[in-house]
């Protein structure tokens, strides 16, 4: 046959619904109409590979085979959606029965060798393609199902660990059109599996997670395909992870090497190993979105331009940094060869490298068994023969990716100011001038990516390199998907809110029902916590305070003025926790006078004023050594943070207290704000329990606050049940000691919005600005923290967006920007914009800068 092949690869989400199989059939029909033959490479159904991993664990642990049941049910469900007959489904049923027999063998023997593990994992792709060939037949397309293991044979690699030969196999690209034609049986449609191959001995092996992309490229090379289309759930490669930063721009076209660099540095759309076979065969790749089949995505091919360009800012987390230092290195021939030899012998991949006269630093990407495994232990032993070895596992790599980076260093310079407050452990520049990479603390990486992207990548306008943003590409689809989703409270009160600002003045508006619901939810879900104290610095509006107190929460204060306000508004009965930092000593006297539980940051306070603390019951705030948070300015633990006493030195506070007849009855720690990791508070409590025996009079332990809220699309809400589960496990060790938490923003953020009338709208070239009646004088969080607040045109809630706008205020500062590149409908002077999540750290941080009054407060009681 003379017709050229086109290879289509479909990922797990793309083969997981009847609608998508209809789209697959439609694309095949289009290509057949153009005279093309089609070779489809399919992944396992979405989540099936994860469930297969769990099924092996369940069998090894002799547990109920819940995952096997889920896998069987998922395939039956999809077959029903497609409308397959019992006869058509029979081959899938037989495959899954065979899978059940293998898992039963694992259960009986309590063993799953890498060879058997690979065989079990292959059933995801085998089942999806068996179901898929029937689905295509249901659409009137009759093709040949080919076993990928008949055509893809792995290559033995020197130094490769035995287990990796089965689960991280490598296959060299070869051209063998005759073998492919024989396997296809002269059909114009072939369906085969991604991810799987066979060893030279005929055993099943895997190409590693993400290996279906590599399989597709290998098949495209094998059959001499005209092109390769990668169909997935995004439109292509973006200038950063679009699920984290919605303003990420689609990259229209990119070379093989640039795409490989981008994929290797952290972009997750393609597996880096798939680019080599395609480039070797000169096969262009196009990434397309199965959910939006009419849209064009990213095209990858030979380089079309030699112009310098920054294309993306990406990150790779979970990186291990290893350093070997010795003065013997200087001037010693072949020293680096000795350093790198054990890496190759033990199958440990080195990524970034930096050297000096007396040290070598590397990052590791893919350590067999992890840093706790035998290969890494042996590596450290070998390297210690050469010098001092240190490792860090809490790091990430942030990379600026593009072409001819060195020629635009003068343009990158101002952007590097973002590193001013972040420690950089290693800097590496690609020898091919394709990236500059920085190894930083993992907690800093996300912030750095966002800020570098904001500095280096265009957000508005269009050109040959950059297409629309992810937010713009998906806006209509997301509007459809969220049409039935619960609306925020302000959506139903549109007319009332617009009336509140009809005078042209901005307003903070608080919905007490939302605040009440948040407080009630915390009481309901955090059953392991005995005392909840609202951090009133988030919002001290009188009605807000009364609402929270009525839900049974105490109040956490950080100043004498806050204490006095609480007593004035709420009376003497409500419990107060006083957790100041570097405050005047007389404020402690006020706290004792008003019956507050008082915490100290260390023994120095007792030394300064022994009579003030004599005979008192005190709490001590300790620093566990590391913090978390949505921005470095809200991380409140670690050596550079001004809060707390080192937890290892808590005995010093106990001794100082004893000298003045005081007792330490409370233990407190707070690591940061905006935390969405549900294990954070459990880790804090575990650390505090380690020093509990040094505090014989302990009555309460406070694990802080910082409960994060959802700020933008794609974020997962904090799982309170998971927070409580971990705390409850540890609370069993507390006995009569009360467990406390101090939520602030979580209680009030969603209950408040900032309404701001539009004063002006104007353009500067392709950049559009919306000017508001208020700015950073009312809401400083975006300028101070780079905080993200959702922004909506309240006057035109149902209008479709038409592009990006910078939302700015009237303050005479460049930083007076409430939101950059926000997707809004056509907006005019007189419209009203609504800024979300403004109930916390809004009005309380406002100022009269430029002698402009900040937005006033309005409370909605019903």
Active site residues: 812
Question: Which single residue is written with the structure tokens 């099936």?
Answer: 48
Cβ–Cβ < 8 Å for 510, 544:
yes
CA distance 47 to 79: 17
CA distance 456 to 822: 17
Alpha helices, H only, 282-373? 335-346
Q: Angle CA(349)–CA(450)–CA(801) in degrees, nearest 5?
A: 130
For the beta sheet containing 388-403, the strands, ordered from the edge strand earlier in sequence to the opposite edge, are 350-355, 359-364, 309-325, 388-403, 435-441, 424-429
CA distance 737 to 406: 60
- Pair of tokens at residue 305: 């331009």
- CB proximity list for 352: less than 8 A, separation 6 or greater: 362, 363, 397, 426, 428, 437, 439
Helix (H) or strand (E) holding 218: helix 211-223
Q: Which residues pair with 170 in a beta bridge?
A: 155
CA distance 679 to 611: 40
Cβ–Cβ < 8 Å for 716, 680:
no
Question: Which single residue is written with the structure tokens 């933008």?
Answer: 712
Q: Distance of CA 217 to CAs 24, 169, 431, Å?
A: 19, 15, 26
CA distance 714 to 706: 20
DSSP letter for 44, please. Answer: P
For the beta sheet containing 227-232, the strands, ordered from the edge strand earlier in sequence to the opposite edge, are 144-145, 189-193, 37-42, 5-10, 227-232, 285-289, 298-301, 253-255
Q: HSE on the CB side for 376, CA within 13 Å? A: 19
HEC profile of 478-506:
HHHHCCCCCCCHHHHHHHHHHHHCCCCCC
Q: Distance of CA 468 to CAs 281, 297, 460, 799, 821, Å?
A: 30, 10, 9, 19, 12
CA distance 144 to 383: 53
HEC profile of 567-592:
HHHHCCCCCEEECCCCCCHHHHHHHH
CA distance 440 to 438: 6
Would you say the C-alpha torsion 129, 130, 133, 136 has a positive or negative sign? Answer: negative
Cβ–Cβ < 8 Å for 300, 259:
yes
Render 139-170 in DSSP notation, one character per residue: TT---EE--GGGT-B-B--TT--TTHHHHS-B
CA distance 317 to 294: 34
Question: Which single residue is written with the structure tokens 């004498």?
Answer: 560
DSSP letter for 421, please. Answer: G
- Pair of tokens at residue 285: 């790749």
Render 639-688 in DSSP notation, one character per residue: TT-SS-EEGGGHHHHHHHHHHTT-EEEEEE---BSSB--TTHHHHHHHHH
CA distance 106 to 832: 63
Q: Distance of CA 614 to CAs 71, 610, 617, 654, 810, Å?
A: 66, 6, 9, 13, 52
């Amino acid at each position: 046959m003379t017709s050229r092949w086109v290879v289509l690869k479909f990922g797990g989400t793309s083969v997981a619904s009847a609608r998508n199989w209809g789209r697959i059939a439609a694309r095949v029909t289009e290509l057949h109409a153009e005279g093309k033959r089609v070779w489809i490479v399919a992944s396992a159904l979405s989540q099936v590979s994860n469930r297969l991993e769990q099924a092996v664990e369940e069998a090894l642990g002799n547990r109920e085979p819940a995952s096997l049941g889920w896998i069987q049910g998922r395939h039956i469900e999809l077959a029903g959606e497609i409308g397959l007959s019992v006869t058509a489904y029979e081959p899938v049923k037989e495959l899954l029965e065979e899978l059940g027999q293998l898992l039963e063998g694992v259960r009986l023997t309590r063993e799953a060798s890498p060879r058997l593990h690979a065989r079990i994992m292959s059933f995801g792709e085998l089942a999806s393609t068996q179901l898929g060939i029937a689905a295509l037949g249901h659409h009137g397309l009759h093709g040949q199902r080919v076993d990928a293991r008949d055509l893809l044979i792995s290559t033995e690699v020197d130094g490769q660990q035995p287990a990796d030969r089965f689960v991280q196999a490598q296959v060299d690209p070869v051209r063998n059109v005759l073998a492919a034609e024989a396997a296809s049986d002269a059909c114009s449609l072939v369906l085969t599996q991604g991810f799987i191959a066979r060893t030279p001995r005929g055993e099943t092996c895997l190409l590693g997670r993400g290996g279906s992309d590599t399989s597709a490229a290998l098949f495209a090379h094998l059959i001499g395909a005209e092109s390769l289309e990668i169909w997935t759930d995004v439109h292509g490669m973006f200038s950063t992870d679009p699920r984290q930063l919605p303003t990420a721009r689609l990259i229209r076209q990119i070379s093989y090497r640039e795409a490989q660099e981008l994929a290797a540095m952290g972009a997750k759309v393609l597996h880096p190993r798939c680019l080599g076979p395609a480039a070797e065969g000169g096969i262009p790749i196009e990434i397309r979105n199965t959910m939006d089949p009419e849209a064009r995505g990213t095209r990858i091919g030979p380089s079309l331009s030699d112009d310098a360009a920054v294309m993306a800012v990406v990150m790779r987390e979970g990186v291990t940094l290893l350093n070997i230092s010795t003065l013997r290195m200087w001037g010693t021939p072949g020293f680096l060869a000795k350093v790198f030899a054990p890496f190759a012998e033990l199958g440990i991949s080195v990524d970034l490298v930096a050297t000096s006269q007396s040290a070598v630093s590397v990052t590791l990407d893919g350590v067999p068994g992890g840093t706790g495994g035998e290969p890494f232990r042996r590596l450290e032993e070998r390297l210690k023969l050469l010098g001092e070895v240190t490792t860090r596992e809490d790091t990430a790599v942030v990379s600026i990716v593009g072409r001819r980076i060195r020629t635009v260093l003068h343009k990158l310079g101002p952007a590097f100011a973002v590193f001013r407050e972040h420690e950089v452990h290693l800097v590496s520049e690609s020898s091919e001038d394709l990236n500059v990479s920085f190894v930083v603390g993992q907690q800093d990486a996300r912030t750095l990516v966002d800020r570098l992207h904001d500095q280096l990548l265009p957000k508005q306008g269009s050109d040959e390199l950059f297409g629309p943003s992810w937010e713009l590409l998906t806006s209509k689809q997301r509007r459809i998907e969220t049409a039935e989703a619960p609306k925020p409270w302000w959506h139903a009160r549109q007319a009332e809110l617009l009336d509140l600002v009809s005078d042209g003045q901005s307003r903070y508006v608080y919905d007490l029902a939302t605040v009440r619901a948040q407080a009630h939810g915390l009481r309901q879900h955090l059953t392991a916590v005995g005392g909840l104290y609202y951090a009133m610095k988030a919002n001290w509006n009188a009605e807000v305070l009364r609402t929270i107190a009525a839900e049974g929460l105490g109040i956490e204060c950080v100043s004498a003025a806050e204490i006095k306000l609480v007593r004035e508004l709420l009376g003497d009965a409500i419990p107060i926790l006083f957790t100041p930092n570097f405050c005047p000593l007389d404020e402690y006297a006020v706290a004792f006078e008003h019956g507050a539980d008082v915490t100290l940051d260390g023994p120095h306070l007792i030394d300064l004023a022994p009579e003030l603390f004599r005979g008192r019951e005190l709490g001590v705030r300790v620093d566990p050594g590391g913090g978390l948070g949505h921005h470095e300015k809200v991380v409140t633990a670690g050596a550079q943070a001004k809060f707390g006493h080192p937890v290892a030195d808590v005995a010093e506070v106990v001794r100082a207290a004893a000298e003045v007849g005081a007792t330490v009855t409370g233990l407190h720690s707070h690591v940061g704000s905006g935390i969405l990791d549900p294990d954070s508070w459990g880790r804090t409590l575990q650390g505090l329990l380690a020093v509990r025996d040094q505090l014989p009079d302990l009555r309460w332990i406070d694990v802080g606050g910082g409960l994060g809220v959802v700020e933008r699309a794609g974020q997962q809400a904090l799982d309170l049940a998971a927070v409580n589960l971990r705390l409850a496990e540890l609370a069993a060790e507390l006995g009569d000691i009360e467990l406390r938490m101090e939520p602030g923003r979580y209680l009030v953020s969603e209950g408040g919005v900032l309404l701001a009338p539009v004063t002006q709208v104007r353009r500067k070239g392709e950049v559009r600005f919306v000017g508001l009646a208020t700015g950073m004088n009312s809401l400083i969080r975006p300028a101070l923290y780079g905080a993200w607040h959702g922004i909506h045109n309240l006057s035109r809630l149902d209008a479709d967006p038409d592009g990006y706008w910078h939302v700015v205020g009237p303050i005479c500062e460049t930083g007076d920007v409430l939101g950059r590149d926000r997707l809004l409908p056509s907006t005019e002077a007189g419209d009203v914009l609504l800024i979300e999540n403004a109930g916390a750290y809004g009005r309380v941080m406002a100022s009269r800068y430029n002698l402009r009054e900040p937005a006033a407060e309005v409370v909605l009681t019903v």
